[in-house]
Every structure is written in structure tokens, then in C-alpha cells.
């Protein structure tokens, strides 16, 4: 038995919270002697410094900031409006990006992709190479709880996963089947899609069992690795920020990432009023440096790994990456979900006693936010539980466990696998 060095491509496009874990995994694999290339969106190349990158011409995450996409997402509960909006907004971009992603996979023998659309699976079939899936949230079917995108399943927890998978496939099927036929020269997939075929593909679940205990009905190929934290280089804060932190007790961090609401000025007024009503200082991360008062400072881009350990609590949107960073810092969090899996993470923190009940952004008000901030900063049991979780999560080696899981699945072989290698398409099951 001899170790096989792999040439690995990781799809790392998305928001910063999606990109940073993939960069961390890429660096971990590179340190173990593997060749690594990251597919990243334009503007995120600095995060992947030191790794080979293939850059997409369009940043899918930037679409979230357009009013057209926000309007589409707000219509998510109207199936007809949601489907027609997907075809109008997403399809033109997807058709262009698929060819760029294919180009980025040149010479790879292992692809690591997120689940949506199973794009990595189509590419692996075309190239005749191995694949693995990334789950940033628990997306493996289970009876333990419903899919993170489903608030209630009426007892049909496992079914909720199949319904979400099918919705995603039916939305992307016209695009992906056309791409399979015209570009990859592969047969179209049937109405049910590739879901049955990928059931045994290795899954790297990029979260901690301290936050989502592993359900007993998950199969062995699903590896809950722990979070993949990117240890960023030393960062020097602006003197304004340093002085503000030194001028009083630890403040509360407030930031919503790329989830910018339609009326950001009204949000700022509400948040500032809530902080003052709760009797705490605050740091507001709104994308650029802004005005400063004695009790509230507005800042631009500040690394979570530097700032969150220096604050008393966090108020954020509940993205998987920000949730992980606040958990690692050992501080309670008030989650104000916008959409997607954000409400799921808010519910998990509340269930674990590391934060109050989530407050949906559409119901955000000065009084309700102030009450939750007061709980996050004043409830000593909540603070102790958050600190306990932080110590446990900080001790986990998520990247190391993910690398070991990949090498266990694919990295050690006596002879090359029959039928593998770029340019040798394999047959669908």
C-alpha cells in the first residue's frame, strides 16, 4: 500500500463564509502533499493566497446584493413566483459559470463540491474521477430533524430532505441537462435526477457535533468533521477600533454579512436604539467605516477571528460561517435570520442555551432586539454555556479530520482505480 498524491479541485465560490472554510481545507490538504486548486469568484483570490486558483468572472454571492435577487427570494413562499424568478435571474449566470467551472477542473483527479445541483457529480462523471460533497449544514436525510430549509415537517422529517433535493433538481434540471448534452456529451438525467447515484459519495459535514449531534441513522460515509477555520494572518486594527475597545467594557458586535436589508438606514437606527436600551456599547459592521459615538462605533471589514473574542456577544444573520466564528469565540449570539438555513442555526443556538430565541429580521424592532441583547449579555448561564461550547469547538481539528476522511476514502490505494483518470467518462449507476 502506498500513499497516492491527489490533484484536488475545491469549489469555493459563494459568500466569504463559504470561501474561508474551503481555503482552510485546501491549505490542510496542500500541507499533506496534495495538489490543490480552488475555484473562487473574482475578488476572493486574496483569501486563497498561496494556493492555485481558477477565478470565476461572476461572483454568485454578489447577486444577493441586487434588488432583483432580493425580490426573487422574498417570493420564496409563492412557488410560481419563485420558479419563474429562478429562471429569469439565475439561469443566464449559471450557463456561463458552468463552462468556467469545467475549465477550472482541468487535470484534477478528485473534486470536492457543495451539494447544490450536484455540479461536481456531473463533472466527475465526465472526467472519470472521484468526488466528495461538502455539507455546510446538515443536508443528509434523517428522521432526527427536518431539513434546515424547512421550518416544520409535520413529523415527516426524512421526507423533507427528499422534497428539498427534488425542488433543487427540478429548478436546475433544464440548465444542467442542456449542459450535460451540449458540453459534456453525456446523456440527460431522468426526472428524478442524480440523487440516487450520489448516495454513497463521501460527505464532509463541515460543522461540529457539539452543535449538531450526529443522528444515529446517518450512514458511515457521512463524516462530521468539525468546523474548518481559516487561521488568518496577523491583522492590525485601525486606531479608532483599538481606542473604542479600550475605552469601556466589551461591546456587542452587530453585523449581517452580505444580507443587506432594503432600508439600511432604518436598520442602523433600530440597532443603535436597541443597544442603548439594553445599556451596552456596540460595534456595527456595516461594510465601511462610519460615524462614532461614545457607545457605538461603525466599522468596515474586520476579521471575525480577531474581533469576536474581544466582544461580549454578537448579533448576526445566522450564516453558517458567522455562527461558527461566534461559537468558537465562546460568546452568546442573537441570530436575526433573513432566509435559508439561518433560522436553523438560530434554533440550534437557542436549544443549546448559547443564545436567545432567534429574531427574524422582518420582525426586528428596538424593544424586541434590546430584550434579546440584554439576555445574551446578562444571562450568566447562557454565557457559561457559550463559553463551554467555544472551548470544545476550538479544540476540534476540523480540517485535519476532513483531510483524514478524504485520504481514508480515496488517498491510499495499491493500484489506480480501474476507469479513473481525466478524460475517461464513467457510466452512471
At residue 425, the pLDDT reads 36
Range list of H helices, 75-135: 79-89, 91-104, 119-127
Give the C-alpha separation, 164 to 159, whole Å: 9
Exposure string (b/e) for 291-301, b if CB count within 10 Å is 16 or more? eeeebbbbbee
Give the C-alpha separation, 220 to 202, whole Å: 9
Burial class of residue 195 in the structure, from the number of CB atoms within 10 Å of its CB (0-12 exposed, 13-18 middle, 19+ buried): middle
> Which structural domains are found in the chain, ordered by start?
2-227+396-413 (3.40.50.2000), 239-394 (3.40.50.2000)
At residue 16, the pLDDT reads 84
At residue 344, the pLDDT reads 96
Of the candidates 53, 64, 66, the residue with the CA atom closest to the CA atom of residue 19: 53
**3-class secondary-structure state, position 322:** helix
Of the candidates 223, 239, 10, the residue with the CA atom closest to the CA atom of residue 114: 10
At residue 89, the pLDDT reads 64
At residue 291, the pLDDT reads 59
Query: What's the grid cell of residue 318?
Result: 445566522
At residue 378, the pLDDT reads 96
Of the candidates 35, 30, 27, 31, the residue with the CA atom closest to the CA atom of residue 7: 35
Residue 52: phi and psi, rounded to 5, are -65, 140
At residue 121, the pLDDT reads 92
Q: What is the dihedral of CA 172, 223, 334, 66, to 10 degrees?
A: -20
User: Which strands sit side by side in the sheet containing 35-41, from one edge to the other?
Assistant: 52-56, 35-41, 7-11, 110-114, 130-135, 203-205, 222-224
**Going residue by residue through the chain (429 aa), what tens digit of pLDDT does each one get?**
345 678 999 999 878 888 999 999 999 999 999 999 999 988 888 889 999 999 998 766 555 555 555 565 554 444 455 555 666 666 767 878 899 999 999 999 999 999 877 899 999 999 999 999 999 999 999 999 999 999 888 889 999 999 988 888 888 888 999 999 999 999 999 888 876 667 789 999 999 999 999 999 999 999 999 999 998 778 899 999 999 999 999 999 999 987 777 677 888 899 999 999 999 999 999 765 555 678 999 998 899 999 999 999 999 999 999 999 999 999 999 999 998 899 999 999 999 999 999 999 999 999 999 999 999 999 999 999 999 999 999 999 999 999 999 999 986 543 344 343 333 333 322
Q: Within 13 Å, how many C-alpha atoms sit on residue 47's CB side?
A: 27
Amino acid at each position: 500500500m502506498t500513499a497516492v498524491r491527489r490533484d484536488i479541485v475545491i469549489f469555493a465560490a459563494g459568500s466569504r463564509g463559504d470561501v474561508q472554510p474551503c481555503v482552510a481545507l485546501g491549505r490542510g490538504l496542500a500541507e499533506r502533499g496534495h495538489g490543490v486548486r480552488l475555484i473562487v469568484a473574482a475578488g476572493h483570490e486574496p483569501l486563497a493566497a498561496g494556493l492555485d486558483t481558477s477565478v470565476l468572472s461572476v461572483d454568485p454571492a454578489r447577486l444577493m446584493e441586487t434588488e432583483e435577487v432580493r425580490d426573487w427570494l422574498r417570493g420564496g413562499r409563492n412557488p410560481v413566483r419563485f420558479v419563474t424568478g429562478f429562471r429569469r435571474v439565475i439561469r443566464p449566470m449559471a450557463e456561463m459559470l458552468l463552462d468556467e467551472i469545467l475549465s477550472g477542473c482541468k487535470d484534477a483527479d478528485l473534486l470536492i463540491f457543495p451539494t447544490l445541483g450536484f455540479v461536481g457529480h456531473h463533472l466527475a462523471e465526465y472526467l472519470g474521477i472521484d468526488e466528495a460533497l461538502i455539507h455546510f449544514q446538515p443536508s443528509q436525510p434523517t428522521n432526527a430533524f427536518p431539513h434546515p430549509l424547512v421550518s416544520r415537517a409535520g413529523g415527516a422529517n426524512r421526507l423533507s430532505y427528499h422534497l428539498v433535493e427534488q425542488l433543487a433538481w427540478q429548478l436546475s434540471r433544464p440548465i444542467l441537462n442542456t449542459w450535460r448534452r451540449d458540453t459534456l456529451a453525456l446523456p440527460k438525467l431522468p426526472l428524478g435526477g442524480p440523487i440516487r447515484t450520489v448516495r454513497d459519495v463521501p460527505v464532509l459535514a463541515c460543522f461540529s457535533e457539539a452543535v449538531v449531534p450526529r443522528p444515529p441513522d446517518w450512514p458511515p460515509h457521512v463524516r462530521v468533521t468539525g468546523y474548518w477555520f481559516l487561521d488568518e494572518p496577523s491583522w492590525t486594527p485601525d486606531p479608532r477600533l483599538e481606542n473604542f475597545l479600550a475605552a469601556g467594557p466589551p461591546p456587542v458586535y452587530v453585523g449581517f454579512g452580505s444580507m443587506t436589508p432594503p432600508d439600511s438606514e432604518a436598520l442602523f437606527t433600530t440597532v443603535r436604539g436597541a443597544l442603548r436600551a439594553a445599556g451596552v456599547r456596540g460595534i456595527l459592521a456595516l461594510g465601511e467605516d462610519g460615524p462614532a459615538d461614545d457607545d457605538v462605533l461603525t466599522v468596515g471589514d474586520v476579521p471575525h477571528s480577531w474581533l469576536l473574542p474581544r466582544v461580549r456577544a454578537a448579533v448576526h444573520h445566522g450564516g453558517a460561517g458567522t455562527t461558527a466564528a461566534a461559537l468558537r469565540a465562546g460568546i452568546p449570539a442573537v441570530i436575526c435570520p433573513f432566509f435559508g438555513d439561518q433560522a436553523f442555526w438560530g434554533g440550534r443556538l437557542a436549544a443549546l442555551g448559547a443564545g436567545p430565541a432567534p429574531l427574524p429580521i422582518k420582525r426586528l424592532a428596538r424593544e424586541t432586539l434590546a430584550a434579546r441583547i440584554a439576555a445574551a449579555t446578562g444571562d450568566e448561564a447562557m454565557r457559561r454555556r457559550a463559553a463551554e461550547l467555544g472551548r470544545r469547538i476550538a479544540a476540534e481539528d476540523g480540517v485535519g479530520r476532513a483531510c483524514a476522511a478524504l485520504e481514508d476514502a480515496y488517498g491510499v490505494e495499491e493500484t489506480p482505480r480501474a476507469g479513473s483518470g481525466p478524460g475517461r467518462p464513467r457510466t452512471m449507476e
